Chains A and B, each alone.
Chain A
């Protein structure tokens, strides 16, 4: 086909070129919408489910040498629905009436744990460079060129065909069948559905099996596009596909298909024309270099923030929610006064003993680990403010921490400024960024806020870090983002002990600030907003102001923590400490253990920093059995166990959405209260 001008030909080629990646986004977006529509879960573990089937397909076909149809049968039509059924039965059934935040945290945990569990159970590890072969014969080798300007291979055509057929079939399922209607009803209110005589459990089990099968299908179809299988790639794809799913408000399948294709076209056309423009206008070049990898996140952020319908969408509430018991008060408020006193004394005793042991006995490694735990606990307090008090979920706390870290690096590097002053500037800068970010995103409800903040984190990761005035640019690649330790008069914090004291002081100060905030006007306002935004508004509370303050304070705390962490490690270590995935990890740990209290944050910080050396490397057991040589042979455990245990923790959290530490406290408080009361009654 000959087109009149080069421009239109380029445009058309861009569109054709964008179609295969567009079909990838569309497939994932369709599955994502399917899961959301049938289970009400904003399933960030969708990519993990897709990965499992793809890896199984690879194992069965390429490793065991079974024929393709058998591999497809095993991986997509047996394993995938099975995974869906297990997830429903073990986890999501208990979360049906849970908050959006709890569901999201569980899916984040699963997105990390599922691939690890599969890799461990199937002894699977992807070998780089060994590509997966697609499901159609000679899929990557046979090309079709319908328009004479761009060639599609068979794998790509299969993907597009399945995306289209999937849209039609699923749309028909929802429109014409009783099962489709029941699945939508269960999402809104399982109890009302039961009152219509429908077995809600069976419906949601079917829904999970179906959406998991779709995930598996998408995973296998997409796999040939990757050089090697990695669950991280699938996770990133899901975040991108959320942009496509958002165009249909997560409920419209045809719009998810068009949204996915549109995203593919937009990116391809953008990449077709921008290099040419950047050649003519040199000022465009840095944008061209930095924007391209992050374009999907920019699009996602723009859709969420600019498209008003997303902001207005609220989850339909269950009219029978009143059947659920109200969330219990904090266990600490119900404890017997004697128990409270004993707990405090024991707390002081425990902290003193740990402090003394660390001070006198710890070697360099342990000193450093404990310091890290203290600083991570400080960063976790930022989650306590935004999630524990505000009831909102932010997935860019790592970015705020990175802003703190980079500010210290830049100020010290360029102006030779005192790092402590720079840390305060970094915290202030993070607060400003947090407040600015909160303006457009705060009117988004529940999960949308989470996704907008995640898009921001990925955008910062892909674009901002690469600027020399943020991440140090090419010089940082050579010398690293070095940060000196602080120096106040005669006290040199280059000594690890002195720095630990500094970190503890900072943690105490921030804890006091957080407690003051919680007990003060802002805290009460946030508590009221958590209860009911409408009721709060009707007594004259401004939601916006309290939330902007909470966001800014939370960002400042994270920024300060990031600065301290950079000083501690004498390097910002962005990828290791603050990348979006690491921040997701943080969030799951602190929310699962307890985000409502200051102790929860401290315990979570300790767990995050010390779990691996203490438990997995067997230090604790070694101390108990006196001597490393007496440890069982399977120590030290592989680091992958950390990810699996992390997933198990997220699953446990599904049963106890108030936080695991809080759950344990309540259980023991109930028991001891009963015992104390019985004793008093006897006396």
Chain B
């Protein structure tokens, strides 16, 4: 059996004196889709950051394709080059660059100078709103539009593994449906997914496996169709499942 694309082993991580993860192990294999669910403050975003190389774990290790990667602020690009892409939560765009420059920064590396125009076209097809505003400074876009820009970058590239953190946050319901539609399309082409999502229903529908994170520990892992029942039986502080 080949090594999983991404594997976290006994990872502990946090911010300064605050600990957010206490020994988390999780693996995502090729073509697999995993939903990561949990209450606010359970450590989901921290886990996503460790998984994409943004945050250095204070203990444990992160492996991409079986090889341990030395994580850190300066190593996230290695994850990207290995095909692990991360769409961080919130308005994660370069506010001072234009929409097109934001996309070009990723696409030129991924598709080369020749493939740049094709990549931009696909992004504007996915989110026509971005095409209308291609020359606009990204910082002046609305919250939802910035979200689209941040997603367009990763959705168009169809990486080997896509880590998406709260991607539906701030988007209109119709756009959310469209985003999940796109996700299932790129899944069909072989992209593995690690989805962190408050809209549990959507996420579980898309994924075949689920992991429940509570207080920095994974307390349950299993097929996603069983996760609904597990979540019902546990009391969440917020983000009730539907």
Instruction: Give chain A's interface residues, CB within 8 Å of chain B.
Output: 178, 181-182, 184-185, 188-201, 316-317, 319-320, 323-326, 328
Interchain CB contact (< 8 A) of A319 among B52, B93, B108: B93
Q: Are B105 and A181 in contact (CB under 8 A)?
A: yes
Contact indicator A319/B105 (Cβ below 8 Å): no
In contact, A316 and B93 (Cβ under 8 angstroms): no
Q: Within the complex, which residue of B15, B73, B96, B153 is in contact with A194, where a contact is CB–CB below 8 Å?
A: B73
The reply to whether B55 and A185 contact each other, CB–CB distance below 8 Å, is no
Contacting residues, chain A, for B52 (C-beta < 8 A): 195
Please give the distance in Å from A195's CB to the nearest CB on chain B: 6
A-B contact pairs, 24 of them (CB 8 A): A178-B109, A181-B101, A181-B108, A185-B94, A189-B94, A190-B73, A191-B73, A192-B88, A192-B94, A194-B53, A195-B77, A196-B109, A197-B80, A197-B81, A197-B110, A198-B77, A200-B77, A316-B95, A319-B93, A319-B95, A320-B88, A323-B49, A325-B14, A326-B16
Across chains A and B, which 5 residue pairs bring their CB atoms closest together, nearest first? A325-B16, A197-B80, A194-B76, A325-B15, A196-B106
A182, A188, A323: which contacts B55 (Cβ < 8 A)?
A323
CB of B182 within 8 Å of the partner chain: no
Which residues 86-120 of B have a CB within 8 angstroms of A? 86, 88, 90-97, 101, 104-106, 108-110
| A316/B139 in contact, CB under 8 A | yes
Known: A199-B77, A201-B74. A320 touches B105 (CB 8 A): no
Contact B86 A184 (CB under 8 A): no
Task: Give the residue among A319, A326, A328 with the most B Cβ atoms within 10 A.
Answer: A319
A185 touches B97 (CB 8 A): yes
Q: Tell me if B85 is interfacial: C-beta within 8 Å of chain A.
A: yes
Q: Are A196 and B153 in contact (CB under 8 A)?
A: yes
Assess whether B73 is in contact with A323, with CB atoms less than 8 Å apart. Answer: yes
A619 to chain B, nearest CB (A): 41
Known: A197-B80, A200-B74, A326-B16. A191 touches B54 (CB 8 A): yes
Task: Name the CB-closest residue of B to A198.
Answer: B77
Whether A320 pairs with B17 at a CB distance below 8 angstroms is: no
**Other-chain residue from A181, A194, A324 in contact with B77 (beta carbon distance below 8 A):** A194
Known contacts A191-B76, A197-B81, A182 near B17 by CB under 8 Å: no
Chain B, 25-62, CB within 8 A of any chain A CB: 49, 52-55
Q: Report whether A195 and B80 are in contact in the complex, using a CB–CB cutoff of 8 Å.
A: yes
- Given A184-B94, A319-B93, output 13 extra A-B contacts at Cβ < 8 Å: A181-B104, A181-B105, A191-B54, A191-B73, A194-B74, A195-B52, A195-B92, A319-B95, A323-B15, A323-B54, A323-B73, A324-B15, A325-B17
Question: Nearest residue in B to A320 (C-beta to C-beta)?
Answer: B88
Q: Which of A192, A198, A316, A328 contacts B92 (CB 8 A)?
A: A192
Q: How far is the CA of A323 from the CA of B14 in the complex (A)?
A: 9
C-alpha gap A521/B15 in the complex (Å)? 30
Q: How far is it, in angstroms, between the C-alpha of A238 and the C-alpha of B92 when the chains are bound?
A: 35
Which residues 6-34 of B have a CB within 8 angstroms of A? 14-18
The residue in chain B whose Cβ has the minimal distance to the Cβ of A315 is: B96
| Given the contacts A197-B77, A201-B74, A188 and B105 also touching, CB distance less than 8 Å | no
Q: How far apart sit A317 and B95, CA to CA, in the bound complex (Å)?
A: 8
Q: In the complex, A178→B81 CA distance in Å?
A: 17
Cα–Cα distance between A191 and B75 once the two chains are bound (Å): 9
Bound-state CA distance A326–B90 (Å) is 19
Using Cβ atoms and an 8 Å threshold, which residues of chain A touch B96? 184, 188, 316
> For the complex, what is the distance from the CA of A203 to the CA of B17, rounded to whole Å?
31
Output the nearest chain A residue to B154 by Cβ-Cβ distance: A195
A178, A191, A198, A320 pick with most chain B CB within 10 angstroms: A191
Report if A178-B88 is in contact (Cβ < 8 Å); known contacts: A192-B94, A198-B77. Answer: no
Q: Which residues of B contact A178 (CB under 8 A)?
A: 108-109
Q: Which residue of B lies closest to A93 (CB)?
A: B74
| A191–B92 CA distance with the chains assembled, in angstroms | 10
Evaluate contact between A319 and B92: CB separation under 8 angstroms: yes
Instruction: Tell me, in angstroms, the Cα distance from A320 to B88 when the chains sit together.
Output: 8
Query: Within the assembled complex, what's the spacing in Å between the Cα atoms of A333 and B94?
Result: 37
| Contacting residues, chain A, for B15 (C-beta < 8 A) | 323-326
The complex places the Cα of A184 from the Cα of B105 at a distance, in Å, of 10
Q: A323 CA to B73 CA in the complex, in Å?
A: 9
* B88 engages A197 (CB within 8 Å): no
Closest to B55 in A: A323
Chain B nearest CB from A212 CB (Å) reads: 21
A191 to B17, CA, bound (A): 21
In contact, B97 and A319 (Cβ under 8 angstroms): no
B238 to chain A, nearest CB (A): 19
**Residue of A191, A194, A197 ringed by the most chain B CB atoms within 10 A:** A197
**Interchain CA distance A449-B70 in the complex, whole Å:** 40
CA distance A317 to B96 in the complex (A): 10
B54 close to A196 (CB less than 8 A): no
| Pick from B14, B16, B91: contact of A328, CB under 8 Å | B16
For B14, list chain A residues within 8 Å (CB). 325
Query: Contact partner of B106 among A189, A197, A200, CB < 8 A?
Result: A197
Return B209 CB to nearest CB of chain A, in Å: 24
Once bound together, how far apart are the Cα atoms of A197 and B53, in whole Å? 11
Taking the closest CB of chain A, its distance from the CB of B41, in whole angstroms, is: 13
Residues of chain B lying within 8 A (CB to CB) of residue A316 = 94-96, 139
- Please, how many angstroms separate the alpha-carbon atoms of A319 and B38 in the complex? 23
Nearest CB of chain A from residue B139's CB, rounded to whole Å:
7
Minimum C-beta distance from A325 to chain B (A): 3
Given A316-B96, A326-B16, A185 and B105 touching (CB < 8 A)? yes
Flag if A319 contacts B90 (CB, 8 Å).
yes
CA of A359 to CA of B225, assembled, Å? 82
Give Cα A323–Cα B13 distance, bound, in whole angstroms: 11
Minimum C-beta distance from B115 to chain A (A): 13
Which residue of chain A lies nearest to B107 when distances are taken between CB atoms in the complex? A196
Among candidates A184, A197, A323, A325, residue contacting B97 with C-beta atoms closer than 8 Å? A184
The reply to whether A193 and B53 contact each other, CB–CB distance below 8 Å, is no
Closest CB of chain A to B22's CB: distance in Å?
17
Min distance, Cβ A683 to any Cβ of chain B, angstroms: 25
Per the bound structure, the CA–CA distance linking A193 and B105 in Å amounts to 8
Q: Tell which of B74, B76, B90 touches A195, judged by Cβ atoms closer than 8 Å.
A: B76
Contacts of A198 in B (CB 8 A): 77, 105, 109
Of B14, B53, B54, most buried by chain A (CB within 10 Å of CB) is B54
| Cα distance A669–B96 in the bound complex, in angstroms | 42
Interchain CA distance A182-B49 in the complex, whole Å? 22
Across the interface, which residues of A come within 8 angstroms of B104, CB to CB?
A: 181
Interchain CA distance A196-B76 in the complex, whole Å: 9
- Of B49, B73, B95, B97, most buried by chain A (CB within 10 Å of CB) is B73
Task: Report Cα–Cα, A159/B231, bound state, in Å.
Answer: 71
Chain B proximity of A39: nearest CB distance (Å): 14
Known contacts A185-B105, A198-B109; decide if A320 and B81 are in contact (CB<8 Å).
no
Bound-complex Cα distance A200 to B105 (A): 12
For B101, the chain A residues whose CB sits under 8 A away are 181, 184
A195 to B94 alpha-carbon distance, docked (Å): 12
Most buried by B among A182, A194, A198: A194
Determine whether the beta carbon of A188 is less than 8 Å from that of B94: yes
In the complex, chain A residues whose CB is within 8 Å of the CB of B73: 190-191, 194, 323
Contact of B80 among A190, A196, A317, A328 (CB under 8 A): A196
Complex-state Cα separation, A201 to B78, whole angstroms: 12
Check B91–A319 contact: CB distance below 8 A.
yes
CA distance A222 to B91 in the complex (A): 45
**Which residues of chain A are near B91, meaning CB under 8 Å?**
319
* Minimum distance in angstroms from A532 CB to a CB of chain B: 16
A181 near B97: Cβ-Cβ < 8 Å: yes
Q: How far is the CA of A231 from the CA of B14 in the complex (A)?
A: 45
Chain A residues, Cβ within 8 Å of B106: 196-197
Which residues of A are found within 8 Å of B90, using beta-carbon distances?
Answer: 319
CA distance A61 to B139 in the complex (A): 50
Residues of B within 8 Å of A185, CB to CB, are 94, 97, 105
Shortest distance from the beta carbon of A85 to any chain B beta carbon, whole Å = 16
Inter-chain contacts of A190 with B (CB < 8 A): 73
Taking a contact as CB atoms under 8 Å apart, the answer to whether B85 and A195 are in contact is: yes
Q: In the complex, what distance in Å separates the CA atom of A190 from the CA atom of B104?
A: 16
